[in-house]
Amino acid sequence: MDFNEFSFRVRYGETDQMGVVYHGNYPQYLEMGRVEWLRSMGISYKTMEENGIMLPVISLNITYRKSAVYDDLLTVKTFIRKRPMVRIEFDYEIRNEANELLIEANTVLAFIDMKTNKPIKCPSYILDNLNI
């Protein structure tokens, strides 16, 4: 299984008046996890797009377990469990400093050729870097 972890602090603007992270911010945290997962392999979204490949989200599922609050140090763990083909599927866990599970999530993205707007196979420069 291939995974990456990174941590960040919850900013005030991501919370409601009670200091609780607004639920709509979690998809952005998941995106940060995907970006860091790719970066850990020496690949960037920017480079992929410059090479004519985009990765739109086609499915998003989040199970909320516990709320994050302002100034929490969150750790996003991003997993890939199977080799991508035309789609790439990520699983996630977000935990706080006390290692409490806050959310579990899953996203599916598709590799799309930006010129034709059609699905394409996962680029070899990603496949070659996977440990699965």
- Annotated active-site residue in 16, 72, 91, 113: 16
Q: Which two tokens stand for residue 87?
A: 């789609």
Tell me what percent of the chain is helix, strand and coil, each rounded to the nearest 5. Answer: 25, 40, 35
- Report the candidate in 56, 77, 62 with the shortest Cα–Cα distance to residue 7: 77
Which residue type, as a one-letter code, is found at position 115?
K
91 tagged catalytic: no
Please list the active-site residues: 16
